[in-house]
Structure 1
């Protein structure tokens, strides 16, 4: 049996959040507005915003000279990894301002300290200073704390948490909600004839989310999750989980393993080594599999949903050229969000909820996404198959919502 080790990337299906506004080939599909402008501040040709209201002094670091003020709330002095992530998000915002032009926005960066109190204070300042929108905060508790001060002024927020519970009308989550990745993987599999699935999931909130969405998706597609096993991160726990669903696996069409790191290969090899024949079973995962060893023979032929990595890599290359380091995908959220609100602001009339909730959505570095009225996000994902140790797209991410291509 493989020895389980703690995967380097374990954030509850990218629990911080993850996305970007890129126009590949220099144009966006006709149904999808607000794509990324060409570098050099060309932007999208629109009428300038006319705002005759007096401008109050802004507290925080100011980037840009635009008429429309937008606040960016980040844990710049937060504990642990918070400050590092915040620095990346700020750099990504600088890169976005390079592209849209400094006259597109007045971006005010405010430090939350990574605390709920700091987030509430920063949000209150942003509201009092007349911000047309607030980007951030990063963590779900901070998002909840920042929402009430902004609700009083009806200032929209685009936050970076992937906790669905932090969303509400006017509080949008520019993140990868794990439910969407699970739904895409399983709905694709069901479309290819998979009707019965066994789910082997980690203990805790991430496993709870994956189980609930797996059951919902399979039911909606005319299939079923026939059994669920949970494991902690040790070999005995994995062994017991696998043995507990052995008979169900033998009768199922597929096994769903949404976790990343060493978990997918360890679980697959444990099934084989304990006498469960999975040669005719399809292994299903999520974008967490990009942190797994895809060269492991046990994972060949597996399917999982994730963003279009060619777009992600284009963002990372641009960031590295500008700042000299490879960024996390989380940082692309700030880039996307700044470009999005800048292009809406250029159209005049401020940054209104109806513009943020446009049904056709936005086309980003990590694909297509749109904000729904309840604040959650719908995204378009690609389906990958593991072939010869690499992930290759077998079903492209959509280029627009509504069944278009």
Structure 2
């Protein structure tokens, strides 16, 4: 099946040709007998539940509406006869997620997609574990994984690793990391240290800041000697942080033009037109693919979607293709080492439930990100 602009040329979107290792866990034609509770999309024999915070507080309901729209678009592409997709409202609460997942088990769902928030994922997992029903959730908190619980999300470790591995391949050995206070900074620091060690380099210093200019200047001044001796400065944060930090380095008397500035996909929220960021490198999802998804979504629903909603599209298409090939959603098919190619790029689920993704590396040129190392089209060891 070819989904416009979505299928990669080297990695099939769905199951590869059967080689004996992708045994179906459920025989084709076993339709659930219990009526479904929730909005039903499609008429396929494989029932899949989609858990969303449709009536959740704050932005939860808005994001949930986007995910639901993305699922509708995906069902248009895989065909309504491929799945019976049952949308269940969690209310954005742990209790609601647990109730919805238990209901999905009772109704014979072959898999559960979602929920969105880490605590909801943890609460939804026990009923599914008892039944042996896999879950593909959308949380970016890798601590939410457990046996049979997979995360189709943008885990921050992966994009940090891609940026620093590329930089190491270009001769970068000594890196100073300037990271925000809090959990996000902790994750970025830990992955930066691990990746540089694996590539034969090191993180020579870490400076932390709060979200005010004085804190940034103090962090830079405290690490000034290390920055002066480093090959690169790693700034994983987005927004105003990259430009403010690089400007602070210059104001501290350090020649930033002799240092490679490194970032992550968070830089899509930064002002890349600021001259201080020219020449910087950062890894991110292939924005060309994402643009194709956003155009289709806007044409159908009249609004520009978030990148998160593309995860729901890819996950529903993935489930549909697995169901078509296996008659159910077995875990060994979800963990297919070849992986899948979607609008969010190349990805595959590892046995620990986390997701490995293929990211592109960008350089800031003329105020815009330009790809200097394309996203991979296949995973090593995946054929």
Q: Same fold (TM over 0.5)?
A: yes
Question: In 2 relative to 1, CA 26–201 (structure 1 residues): closer, same or farther, beyond 3 Å?
Answer: closer
- Superposed, 1:166-185 pairs within 5 Å as 166-185=144-163
Instruction: Write the distance in 1 (CA, Å) between the matches of 2:229 and 2:75.
Output: 54
Question: In 2 relative to 1, CA 380–393 (structure 1 residues): closer, same or farther, beyond 3 Å?
Answer: same
Question: In 2 relative to 1, CA 327–31 (structure 1 residues): closer, same or farther, beyond 3 Å?
Answer: closer
Asked if the contact 1:23/1:364 (under 8 Å) is kept, the reply is no
CA-atom RMSD in angstroms:
1.8
- Superposed, 1:103-252 pairs within 5 Å as 103-252=81-230
Query: 1:341 offset after TM fit, Å?
Result: 0.4
Match of 1:91, SS state, is helix
Query: 1:185 offset after TM fit, Å?
Result: 0.2
Determine which of 14, 39, 42 is the counterpart of 1:34: 14
Please say if 1:369 is aligned against 2:347.
yes
Aligned to 1:325: 303
Asked if the contact 1:168/1:376 (under 8 Å) is kept, the reply is no
Instruction: Write the distance in 1 (CA, Å) between the matches of 2:332 and 2:376.
Output: 23
Asked if the contact 2:284/2:360 (under 8 Å) is kept, the reply is yes
Asked if the contact 2:209/2:216 (under 8 Å) is kept, the reply is yes
Asked if the contact 2:128/2:134 (under 8 Å) is kept, the reply is yes
Structure 2 unaligned segments of length 5 or more: list them: 16-25
Instruction: Write the distance in 2 (CA, Å) between the matches of 1:99 and 1:301.
Output: 40
Instruction: Write the distance in 2 (CA, Å) between the matches of 1:379 and 1:50.
Output: 30
Instruction: Write the distance in 2 (CA, Å) between the matches of 1:162 and 1:200.
Output: 22
Asked if the contact 1:22/1:365 (under 8 Å) is kept, the reply is no
Aligned to 1:253: 231
Asked if the contact 2:286/2:359 (under 8 Å) is kept, the reply is yes
Aligned to 2:363: 385
Instruction: Write the distance in 2 (CA, Å) between the matches of 1:289 and 1:31.
Output: 28
Query: 1:32 offset after TM fit, Å?
Result: 3.3
Runs of 4 or more, structure 1, over 6 Å off, are none
Structure 1 unaligned segments of length 5 or more: list them: 1-20, 36-47
Question: In 2 relative to 1, CA 24–100 (structure 1 residues): closer, same or farther, beyond 3 Å?
Answer: closer
Determine which of 287, 297, 322 is the counterpart of 1:309: 287
Match of 1:279, SS state, is helix
Question: In 2 relative to 1, CA 156–26 (structure 1 residues): closer, same or farther, beyond 3 Å?
Answer: closer
Give CA-to-partner distance per residue, 1:20-45, whole Å, 9 cap, x none.
Answer: x986768644553429xxxxxxxxxx
Instruction: Write the distance in 1 (CA, Å) between the matches of 2:66 and 2:6.
Output: 26
Question: In 2 relative to 1, CA 104–226 (structure 1 residues): closer, same or farther, beyond 3 Å?
Answer: same
TM-score by length of 1: 0.89
Aligned to 1:40: none
Asked if the contact 1:22/1:364 (under 8 Å) is kept, the reply is no
Instruction: Write the distance in 2 (CA, Å) between the matches of 1:137 and 1:392.
Output: 34
TM-score by length of 2: 0.94
Determine which of 43, 52, 70 is the counterpart of 1:65: 43
Instruction: Write the distance in 2 (CA, Å) between the matches of 1:231 and 1:246.
Output: 14
Query: 1:349 offset after TM fit, Å?
Result: 3.3
Please say if 1:342 is aligned against 2:348.
no
Query: 1:53 offset after TM fit, Å?
Result: 5.4
Aligned to 1:8: none
Match of 1:118, SS state, is helix
Instruction: Write the distance in 2 (CA, Å) between the matches of 1:225 and 1:28.
Output: 35
Give CA-to-partner distance per residue, 1:209-242, whole Å, 9 cap, x none.
Answer: 0000000000000000000000000111001100
Match of 1:260, SS state, is coil
Instruction: Write the distance in 1 (CA, Å) between the matches of 2:189 and 2:115.
Output: 28
Question: In 2 relative to 1, CA 219–75 (structure 1 residues): closer, same or farther, beyond 3 Å?
Answer: same
Match of 2:172, SS state, is coil
Instruction: Write the distance in 2 (CA, Å) between the matches of 1:378 and 1:23.
Output: 22
Instruction: Write the distance in 1 (CA, Å) between the matches of 2:296 and 2:13.
Output: 22
Query: 1:55 offset after TM fit, Å?
Result: 1.4
